[in-house]
Structures are given as structure tokens and as C-alpha cells.
Chains A and B, each alone.
Chain A
Amino acid sequence: MGTMNKQKATWSLLVLASTACSGSTDVGTPVPTKVEAFGGTDQSGAVGTPLLDSLKVRVTDADGNGVPGVGVTWSVLTDGGQISPATSTTNSTGAAATQFTLSPSEGDQQAEAQVSGLAGSPVVFTAHGHIQPLVPENIEAVAGDGQNGTVGARLLDSLSVRVTDAFGHGVPAVSVSWSVVTGGGTISPVSSTTNGSGVASAEFTLGPLEGEQQAQALVGGLTGSPVMFRATAVEIALSVVAGGNNVPERYSSDLWVHGSYAYSGTWGYRNRPGNVLKVWSLDASGAPSLVGSVTVPSIGTVSDVQVSDDGQLLVLSGERGDDGGIYTFSLGDPANPTPLGSTSVGERGVHTVTLSTINGRTYAFAAMNPGFSGDKTEDKPALMIYDVTQPTAPALVHREPIEPHYGIHDTFVRDGLAFVFAWNEGLIIYDVGNGISGGSPAQPVEVSRLLTAVNGVPGGRAVHNGWWFHNPVSGENRYLFIGQEGPIIVGSSSRGDIHVVDVSDLHNPREVAFFHMSGAGTHNFWMDEQRQILYAAYYNAGVVALDVSGTLSGDLSNRLLSQIKPGGSSKTFTWGVQLANGWLYAIDMESGLWQLKTE
């Protein structure tokens, strides 16, 4: 640090005068950071001939945007092969390509793409050269199965199969027949030919009815044929059923629904301070009616609410007062939460709290805000882990400091992993009992971390909340959805995208997709995992439903299924959503608790 300060001081003196005349700092120019394969991998071809498809790479910046104008050097690693051109330049999307001609030798052959200084370089491509014609033996699905789609609309992802020989090499130029099996949809083309990697694709347009529909790919005589593809036709149309405008004296905050009761927090100061937990009864039709309020003294905001899976324990977090912390309540009588215990962190408060049962004990993962004591270590925000198995006396079992880049906003805990959303520190994944890194609630072990893209949102990454999607259709636990909370004028405008991170390798999470809504920013999520639909509170844009089936990549703007502003244009600023009892409940800061239907 001392060296850095000297450098800064020297620079300061040299450029003191000139800086005042410069207009701005580091605007616009993307800096390439990574190169990766973008097409042409795992091809097969006859020796001495060009591969069917070009080799392609893509160069991106730290935010995942393609960087144009970057030189890529191509070379052959196997004697006798040829590559042309030997250098190329990335286009406007960051992609560059070349053609690989195989050597006369049979077997695996390699070529590579190099961009000096970039992560991922060199990118190695392996192709299989054959002398005798390849004999197709097997066919399998490689993409497109298990998607959702709107009734009557084309699925977003193509259906794709790969044809291989007995040794797993892709077989080019095999004709694949496509047909619809159920649902009355259409598929196009009805016949396609495998490419250099042995892959063939078709587009499936769903029929007019909701529910599962099927299509198939057929190559006579191959093992695995026909390959069946399932898709679900959904019709999501969010609409208001009941509720709304039912907390006029306070702004509302978080929501949790359990059984026939709902609990919502209150925020800031309207005509009254946000020191109250609201208790709602849900009637047989799901409509909410307010049945009680519980005041928490010495806080100004009930920032988060959750009920345990067994419905016996409610925990809330408090901030904006002298006694910020977590508070536990018994739900022995769900209409009358009874205080059990609390633990205070003082004026700094706790922003969110998440319950999770690990090895038979119940823990509360609390996001403690940065402090103001003047002690740098003490003032750091932290993940506070409390054992609340005895909720009358929450016991702190671990404090994990987080760098004070605004701090930790939320935690999502599942399968013994704690996903910590730590603003400009990004995503941090801890093992708190999963076993992947030997961690426990008392001794969390960091598995990995990721800085998500800024996406042009003022204020930076602003990693705020998330949901780890366990997809029962695909059987994958691949995607983590992250909310970015950009700048906000509460009640009026907001910014911030949904970022999708592939965590199939938990040690190396990587961002793969995003959803952007112009003029609005996202907040808390709920997921209908069975139907593969993400519901996101979107502040001034209300509630948004997204199709998150299939493979997620790039811009997900075409996956918007439905949107609603429950309080209308003038009184909508939605904090959170939750699916329960077949209804979608939305809590809106201005207009209170709403009951919505999804179709």
C-alpha cells in the first residue's frame, strides 16, 4: 500500500494540471479478458480434407460482452494439418473463425487459437481424422429437451441430437428425420443433416393445448433412436385476484406465506415507522385479510421474514434502530406470533435472515450491515450464523466478515451451501455442511466466488439476492439466478438485471445469461421449479414471470412470459413474491399484499 501511495503521489504531481482539463475517466473501451471456443469443437472428418465447420472462438470483456478488433492467432498442433487464415480479427460480436484441414494421418488432431494475455488462451480444438468412412452407431439428445414454451409458439432452443460411431466420434452428413408425436405442434425441418460434430437440429413449434407435448428424432438402425423430446406448453398470464391497498399507514417489506397465514414486514417511515410484522389470514379462496400486527420495539424496518418448514418458528430481521438483529417468534398459534428470543447487533442492524436445517439443527443466516464504530475490522459487514434450534436463545456460532463494499445483502442456503450475495464483492459460495469443502455452520469454508457483470447498471455489480434452481425436469442443479439491485428512487424508478450463473462446477461458477428490463430493476425471487418459471419482484415494473427452462445463454429478453403491476402504474413498487397454495402472493411497498393468479 505504501508503494501505491508513493506512485499515486508522484503521478498526482505530474498530472495535476492536466487532469482538470480531461473530460472523464475510462469510458467505453472494452478490455478483452477471456477467450473461449464458440463453435467447431469435436468434429470428425476424412483425413486430408477440410472440416465441415469452421473453428470459432469468442473474446469477451470482464462483463461477458464480446470485444471486437482483437487479433487471434491460429496454429496446427498436429503435423501435416493446415489452417487458414493463420490470423483473424474478432468481429462486432467478439467472434473470430478459421478453417482447419486435417492431416493425412488417422486419429485425433488438434489446432489452437491464441490471444496473448487472455484467460482461456490457448483454446485447443480436437478433431478426429478418419480414413475409412465413419459408421453411425448411436444417437442421443444434446439440447432442447425439457423446455417450456408458450402455447402455439416456437420453443426458444432448437432440438438437437448427435450421431456418433462406436468410438464416440461425431458422424457428419447423417440424415435425421424429425416428427411431432403428441400435442399437435409442428417441427421444421422434417429432415436435417448432421454437421461436422455429428449434430443435427430442428425447431419445434408447440400445439394449441397446455401441457406436455412431444417430438422425436429418428435415424433408422441407430441405438437410441427414436430420441424423444418433451416440452411443456404453458400459458402464463398474471392477474390480480384479491388484496391490495391494505397497509396504508406503512410501507411494506418482505413476505412469507405458510399454510393459511401470511406474514409481512414493514419498512422505513410512512405515517408510522416500519417496526411492525403484519399477520394475514388467507381464506379458502386464498384472499388475504389482516388479522394482527406485532410491534418490534427499537427498530425502524422489518427487513426480512421467514417461517420454518414445519411452520412452528418465524424469524425476522430488523434494522434502522438501536436494536437491529434477529427476532424469533413461536407460531404455535399462527394468528398470534409470540416472541421467543432475539439477538441484537445494535444500530447497524441485519438486512436479511435465512433459515436452514443442517444436520438436524436449525440455523439462521443473517446478513449484518456494516457498522460505524471507527474500528475497521469491527465495522465490516458479516455473515452471522446463529443456531436457533433453541429459538429462545439464538446462539452465534460463526461470524464471517465480508469486505465493506456495501456489505452482504442476502443469503440463499440449500444442500449445505450458502450463497452469499455481497454487493460489489459479488457472489461468494460457502460450504456450511454440504461436504464439498469440509465446511460446517460453525466453520464455513469458501468454495468459490464470482464477480457478475455490471451490464451498464450505475453503481456496479450490486449483487443482492439469488435462487439456486434445482430443476426437476432436467435433473440439473445448474443455474443460480442473481438479482442486481441498481440505483433506486423508491416508489418511482429502479435499475438492475437478473444474472444467470452456471454453478454446475461449484468451484468455477461462470455467468452465462442475463435478463434486462428497461427502466426497472429486479428485487426478490421465487421459483416454480416444477414448471421452470422464475417469478421476480421488479420494483416499479411489478412482478415478472420468466421461462427458465432448457439451456440459458445470453440475453433472456425473449423468455418474458408475463408481467403485472398489481398497484397500477402509480402505486406499484414490488418487493417480493411467493408461490403458495396455488396462488402467487406479491408484497408491494406502496400497495401492500396482493393475491395473484398465474394463468
Chain B
Amino acid sequence: MGSAQSSPWMQLGAHGVLGYTAVDPIPGDRSLGEVRLVQPTIMAHAGIASNRLRMLATLNLEGLTIPDGELAPGDWGEGFVDRRHPHTYLHELVFTFDDLLGKADGSARVSMSAGKGFAPFGTDDPMSRPVLRYPVNHHLAQILERAVAMMGVRVGPLMAEAGLFNGDEPERPGQWPRVSRFGDSWSGRLTVNPVAGLELQGSHASVHSPEHRPGAGTDQRKWSLSGRWSGALGSFPVYGLLEWARTSEAEGFFVFHSVLAEGAWTLGRSRLYYRFERTERPEEERTLNPFRSLRPHIENSILGKTRWTIHTAGYTVHLQPVSVLSVLPLAELSYGRIANVGGGLFDTQSFYGKTSFWSVSVGARLSLGMPLHRMGRYGVAQDTANLRGMGHDGHHE
């Protein structure tokens, strides 16, 4: 897609992971296993006017397949705890006017993008990364499903993006961003590619009342630094990501940190991958359903803070029964330790019965047509988004 195409074009794709996940423990010192279809997505990308006008759309059907979330110890956000929330049906719909100034800006390129999608902040959406399990830091390291308007400038190896968006995060799959709040939050991201395949980024965001839709909640200040490498060792494609994220809320009363490192190594049809993560999360008061926290908020309280240290390793093999269909059977194992940090009533041992957990997933990724793109990259950032950059078909740039 990064290549110039003078005639109108469109690509379509679909993706999903059908699998079984078992976890021990879940709240109450029990174990649980589930078969679910996760990440069911339909993508459409199109361009006209020599690719200067583009559309990027991603539908996500998790509201139908996992309305109660995906079993994932440590994950949190949007009212879910220890289950990753379903995304909204319209995950992305972003229109881009690229190369706004034509030749007037010399070697630079300026773009403007608007629609619903990711704010220019942090790292790629976990859905488009090798590990199936979402990291605990999803809500520290990405800002997604907002009404966004952004500009980007690329000059040689440097790229700057800035965007405005609505601070409110979605509360359920069918919900739209609150248009009246558009512009109450902003973010900026600086990216540099010092050498081929290496991408360094730093970003900052100011998000107003993300967890209270009417806007009376506390604000967040978010920071992200990361280095991403996509290349090869010998003839074997390799991908690596190292990231640090920090979110401060309520003027520093609540602060959460994350460090994450992940990598993938592809040998022929096989791929091995591994992730290490150490992330702090808030422990919110839960409803009688131990996987849900209270929404809407009525006060600014949490029960404490926990730190999740997780190792995840996995293996996939790439099968292609027909040219447009990829099937990647996978097996993934996670082990994590949970620690109370920073005080509060929440007690890991009494709530889970343990201070460590295991989870295992087996299943298959199914990909039809166009593979997953790097979600959250629009305009001038989109041409770093080689469709196979770290896609699940086993290839790398």
C-alpha cells in the first residue's frame, strides 16, 4: 500500500483466531477454560488520486463472539478485568489526504487523517503483533477507538504526528465516540528510523476523563517510548519490540508503569515468539461478576495496584491451503506472577488464592485476503506499515 498507485485500488481481508484458552487461577482460586473466536476482523483499504486519498477500515466482531471478553489474566480496561474487553464493531475508519502540499514541501510530506481509530500514541495494536494474548499494558500503551483528527509530517528518517480526539473510551462494542468531546484530548508522537528496519518512537498524550463518558472523570497524562526492529538474522526474518509506558492519573495520585519486550523468529513455515512484560494495573472494585468492574464510575477510587510479571512463549506454523487463505495453528503458554504494590485493600492471595498464574492457548489463526496491517498508523505513518511488517503469516520486511 505504501507504493504509489495511480489508479483507484481496494484490498479486502478477514482475520480471526479460533482457539481454546485455559487459565489457572481465575478469581476465587478456580480454573477456567473456554473456546472462543477472538479478533474476528474484516478489513478494507482503498486509495484514489494516485493514492493521495485513502481509506482504511476495520470491522471487529468481538461484540458478537466474545461479548463477555476474552479470558486473559491481568488484562483490564473498559470495565473488564482479567478478561480483555471486546472491541467496538467499527474498530477503524480513517480517511487520509496524503502529500497535502505536493511538491511544495520539497522532500517533506504532510498528511491529514480523520475518522475513528487510534490516536497517534504509543505502539501498535496488539492484535497486529505476533503474540495472541493481549498484554496487560494495552490501556497504557495505546489509545484506540476514538474520533481522531491528526496531521503528520515526514522528513527523511523523521516523522512527527499530532492528533486531537475525544477522551472517552468506549464502554461497549456498539458505542460511538462522544462527538461533543472531540478535541478535549490530544497526543503527539515522534518517530525516527535511524537505519533500515529500526524504528524508535516517543509519544505523549493528555487524555481527559477517559473512563467517564460524560467527562467528569480524572485526566491522564501518558508517555510511551519504544524501539522496534523488523529485519532478518541470516535468512530468517526477525521482529523485536522494546517498550516503556507510563500513565499518570488524577494529577499523579495514580501512576502506572509498564515495561515490555517481545520478539519473533521465523524459520521457514515455523515461527517462535516470546514476550516479557512487567506492568502495573489498577485494582478496581468489581461487581458480583468478578470479571467486571463498576461502570459508570461514581467516585475516583481504586482498591490498590498490582504488578503483573508475565512470560509468554508461543509457536505457530504457516499453512496455506489455498492462495488467499492462511491458516496458522498455534500454541501459546503464559506464566505470570502477581504482586501487590503501593498499598490498598486488594490482596492478591485472598482474591485469586495464588500469587501466580498459568494460561495456555491452542488454536489457529485464520487469515483471508489482505493480512492484518499495523493498526494505528495513518497518513505519513502508514507507509511504514508494510502489510506484512509483523503479520501473522510468518514474513517480515
Select the stretch in B9-17, B211-219, B256-264, B316-324 that faces chain A.
B211-219
Q: Are A409 and B298 in contact (CB under 8 A)?
A: yes
Select the stretch in A9-17, A53-61, A109-117, A578-586 that faces chain B.
A9-17
Q: What is the CA–CA distance of A493 and B204 in the complex, to the nearest angstrom? A: 28
Q: Are A489 and B300 in contact (CB under 8 A)?
A: no
Q: Are A372 and B186 in contact (CB under 8 A)?
A: no
CB proximity of B108 to chain A, nearest CB, Å: 13
- Could you say which residues of chain B place their CB within 8 Å of the CB of A403? 214
Select the stretch in A20-28, A431-439, A527-535, A544-552 that faces chain B.
A20-28
How extensive is the interface on chain A, given as a class?
A: 35 or more
CB proximity of B80 to chain A, nearest CB, Å: 14
Given known pairs A320-B294, A321-B287, A487-B253, the reply for A16 and B303 (CB within 8 Å) is no
Hey, what's the 0/1 contact readout for B340-356 against A, CB within 8 Å counting as 1?
00111110001100000
Select the stretch in A162-170, A264-272, A467-475 that faces chain B.
A264-272
Does A404 touch B at the CB level, under 8 Å?
yes
- Could you say which residues of chain B place their CB within 8 Å of the CB of A590? 345
CB contact between A490 and one of B151, B175, B189, B301 (< 8 Å): that residue: B301
Hey, what's the 0/1 contact readout for B150-192 against A, CB within 8 Å counting as 1?
1101000000111110000001000100011011001111000
Q: What is the CA–CA distance of A485 and B218 in the complex, to the nearest angstrom? A: 13
Q: Are B216 and A460 in contact (CB under 8 A)?
A: yes
Q: Are A487 and B254 in contact (CB under 8 A)?
A: yes
Q: Are B288 and A322 in contact (CB under 8 A)?
A: yes
CB contact between A458 and one of B179, B253, B302 (< 8 Å): that residue: B253
Does B52 touch A at the CB level, under 8 Å?
no
Q: What is the CA–CA distance of A486 and B302 in the complex, to the nearest angstrom? A: 12
Q: Which among A9, A11, A17 has the greatest number of chain B C-beta atoms within 10 A?
A: A17
Q: Are A488 and B298 in contact (CB under 8 A)?
A: no
Q: Are A491 and B303 in contact (CB under 8 A)?
A: yes
- Could you say which residues of chain B place their CB within 8 Å of the CB of A374? 175
Hey, what's the 0/1 contact readout for B7-31 against A, CB within 8 Å counting as 1?
0000000000000000000000000
- Could you say which residues of chain B place their CB within 8 Å of the CB of A347? 287
Given known pairs A19-B162, A424-B216, the reply for A491 and B344 (CB within 8 Å) is yes
Does A261 touch B at the CB level, under 8 Å?
no
Does A178 touch B at the CB level, under 8 Å?
no
Q: Are B164 and A16 in contact (CB under 8 A)?
A: yes
Given known pairs A20-B187, A273-B288, the reply for A462 and B300 (CB within 8 Å) is yes
- Could you say which residues of chain A place their CB within 8 Å of the CB of B218? 458-459, 487
CB proximity of B121 to chain A, nearest CB, Å: 10
- Could you say which residues of chain A place their CB within 8 Å of the CB of B345? 251, 268, 270, 490-492, 573, 589-590
Does A369 touch B at the CB level, under 8 Å?
yes
Given known pairs A351-B298, A369-B298, A489-B342, the reply for A17 and B162 (CB within 8 Å) is yes
Given known pairs A405-B216, A589-B345, the reply for A487 and B250 (CB within 8 Å) is yes
Does B201 touch A at the CB level, under 8 Å?
no
Given known pairs A12-B183, A20-B188, A458-B250, the reply for A372 and B296 (CB within 8 Å) is yes
Who on chain A is nearest to B216 by CB?
A405
CB proximity of B172 to chain A, nearest CB, Å: 8
Hey, what's the 0/1 contact readout for A44-80 against B, CB within 8 Å counting as 1?
0000000000000000000000000000000000000
CB proximity of A463 to chain B, nearest CB, Å: 11
Q: What is the CA–CA distance of A561 and B244 in the complex, to the nearest angstrom? A: 47
Does B51 touch A at the CB level, under 8 Å?
no
CB proximity of A161 to chain B, nearest CB, Å: 46
Does B295 touch A at the CB level, under 8 Å?
yes
Who on chain A is nearest to B182 by CB?
A8
Does A94 touch B at the CB level, under 8 Å?
no
Q: What is the CA–CA distance of A270 and B216 in the complex, to the nearest angstrom? A: 29
CB contact between B180 and one of A1, A25, A462, A487 (< 8 Å): that residue: A1
Does B199 touch A at the CB level, under 8 Å?
no
Who on chain B is nearest to A24 by CB?
B206
Does B278 touch A at the CB level, under 8 Å?
no
Q: Are A487 and B300 in contact (CB under 8 A)?
A: yes
- Could you say which residues of chain A place their CB within 8 Å of the CB of B391? none
Who on chain B is nearest to A348 by CB?
B296
Given known pairs A5-B180, A5-B182, the reply for A269 and B299 (CB within 8 Å) is no
Once A and B bind, how many residue pairs between them come within 8 Å at the CB atom? 162
- Could you say which residues of chain A place their CB within 8 Å of the CB of B112? 16
Q: Are A485 and B299 in contact (CB under 8 A)?
A: yes
Does A204 touch B at the CB level, under 8 Å?
no
- Could you say which residues of chain A place their CB within 8 Å of the CB of B302? 488-490
Q: Are B186 and A20 in contact (CB under 8 A)?
A: yes
Q: Are A404 and B216 in contact (CB under 8 A)?
A: yes
Q: What is the CA–CA distance of A322 and B217 in the complex, to the nearest angstrom? A: 25
Does A363 touch B at the CB level, under 8 Å?
no
Q: Are A492 and B149 in contact (CB under 8 A)?
A: no
Q: What is the CA–CA distance of A268 and B112 in the complex, to the nearest angstrom? A: 47
Does A337 touch B at the CB level, under 8 Å?
no
- Could you say which residues of chain B place their CB within 8 Å of the CB of A486? 253, 300
Q: Are B298 and A25 in contact (CB under 8 A)?
A: no
Q: Are A320 and B299 in contact (CB under 8 A)?
A: no
Does A566 touch B at the CB level, under 8 Å?
no
Hey, what's the 0/1 contact readout for B258-295 against A, CB within 8 Å counting as 1?
00000000000000000000000000011110100011
Who on chain A is nearest to B179 by CB?
A5
Who on chain A is nearest to B151 by CB?
A16
CB contact between B350 and one of A9, A18, A19, A271 (< 8 Å): that residue: A271
CB proximity of A518 to chain B, nearest CB, Å: 14
Does A406 touch B at the CB level, under 8 Å?
yes
Does A370 touch B at the CB level, under 8 Å?
yes
Q: What is the CA–CA distance of A347 and B287 in the complex, to the nearest angstrom? A: 9
Q: What is the CA–CA distance of A65 and B136 in the complex, to the nearest angstrom? A: 42
Who on chain A is nearest to B251 by CB?
A458
Q: Are B164 and A406 in contact (CB under 8 A)?
A: no
Who on chain A is nearest to B302 by CB?
A489
- Could you say which residues of chain B place their CB within 8 Å of the CB of A4? 180
Q: Are B162 and A406 in contact (CB under 8 A)?
A: no
Q: What is the CA–CA distance of A1 and B181 in the complex, to the nearest angstrom? A: 11
Does A280 touch B at the CB level, under 8 Å?
no
CB proximity of A268 to chain B, nearest CB, Å: 5
- Could you say which residues of chain B place their CB within 8 Å of the CB of A251? 345
Q: Are B179 and A492 in contact (CB under 8 A)?
A: no
Does B304 touch A at the CB level, under 8 Å?
yes
- Could you say which residues of chain B place their CB within 8 Å of the CB of A407? 298
Q: Are A300 and B162 in contact (CB under 8 A)?
A: no
- Could you say which residues of chain A place their CB within 8 Å of the CB of B179? 5
CB contact between A406 and one of B287, B298, B350 (< 8 Å): that residue: B298
CB proximity of A335 to chain B, nearest CB, Å: 29
- Could you say which residues of chain A place their CB within 8 Å of the CB of B299? 406, 409, 423, 462, 464, 485, 488
CB proximity of B208 to chain A, nearest CB, Å: 9
Q: What is the CA–CA distance of A409 and B298 in the complex, to the nearest angstrom? A: 8
Q: What is the CA–CA distance of A16 and B153 in the complex, to the nearest angstrom? A: 12
Does B305 touch A at the CB level, under 8 Å?
yes
CB proximity of B146 to chain A, nearest CB, Å: 13
Given known pairs A251-B345, A406-B216, A495-B253, the reply for A489 and B305 (CB within 8 Å) is yes
CB proximity of A375 to chain B, nearest CB, Å: 13
Who on chain B is nearest to A18 by CB?
B162
Q: Are A19 and B188 in contact (CB under 8 A)?
A: yes
**A-B pairs with lowest CB-CB distance, top 8:** A20-B188, A492-B343, A20-B162, A491-B345, A488-B301, A458-B250, A405-B216, A458-B251
A-B residue pairs in contact (CB < 8 Å), sample of 29: A5-B179, A8-B183, A9-B182, A16-B162, A17-B153, A17-B162, A20-B161, A21-B188, A25-B206, A268-B285, A347-B287, A372-B171, A379-B296, A406-B297, A423-B298, A458-B250, A459-B250, A486-B300, A487-B250, A487-B254, A488-B300, A489-B254, A489-B301, A489-B344, A490-B304, A492-B304, A492-B343, A492-B344, A590-B345
B positions within 8 Å CB-CB of A: 112, 149-151, 153, 160-164, 171, 175, 179-180, 182-183, 186-189, 204, 206, 212, 214-218, 250-254, 285-288, 290, 294-305, 342-346, 350-351
| Other contacts beyond A298-B288, A490-B301, A493-B253: 13, CB < 8 A | A9-B182, A19-B164, A19-B186, A271-B350, A300-B288, A321-B288, A424-B216, A458-B250, A458-B253, A459-B300, A485-B300, A487-B253, A491-B344
